[in-house]
Copies of this chain bind each other. A is one copy, B any other.
């Protein structure tokens, strides 16, 4: 076993970055079921190259998601700073929903990776979401805004559901608005 941490060969790194960039666009346009071959084609590499860098679809998605994750973290910090305690949880969950909805069809895989029974490529993308939600939720519960029985997992699951519903068609957005309203009444302390 030679030293495995040799730096990546230059052409490899170039191809990898190119693939991620192209994948990002394709995911935005066609959702997570977009054709991997098309991505390879547009990046000007063979299918083999794509599959070597990203053994399966989830690995590629996870890589693309790392960037978006930074944006989500920033949103979390902004909310902690600018939004009052009463609306903080709502605002945060809205961001989570938007994040999960960023690529059509992402909600399914993400929910699947939520509970880290065995680690999946998407696991890291979830952990931070859960962690931040736990923080905001605990705050809200101590402030008497959120019901104590609710858990962070529940809430992230709810956000994912909303993201899913919102992406099921033209009126999905309206459906999701109604459901979001019900959910907000549901996790808050009545009154």
Q: How far is the CA of A170 from the CA of B183 in the complex (A)?
A: 23
Q: Which of B161, B176, B181 touches A165 (beta carbons < 8 Å)? A: B161
Q: State the oligomeric state as a number of copies.
A: 2
A-side interface residues, number (CB < 8 Å): 37
Q: Which residues of B contact A151 (CB under 8 A)?
A: 178
Is A98 an interface residue when CB atoms closer than 8 A count as contact? no
Extra 19 A-B pairs, beta carbons < 8 Å, given A112-B168, A161-B164: A111-B168, A111-B175, A114-B171, A115-B171, A117-B170, A147-B185, A153-B178, A154-B179, A157-B165, A157-B175, A157-B178, A161-B161, A181-B186, A182-B187, A183-B186, A185-B186, A185-B190, A190-B190, A190-B191
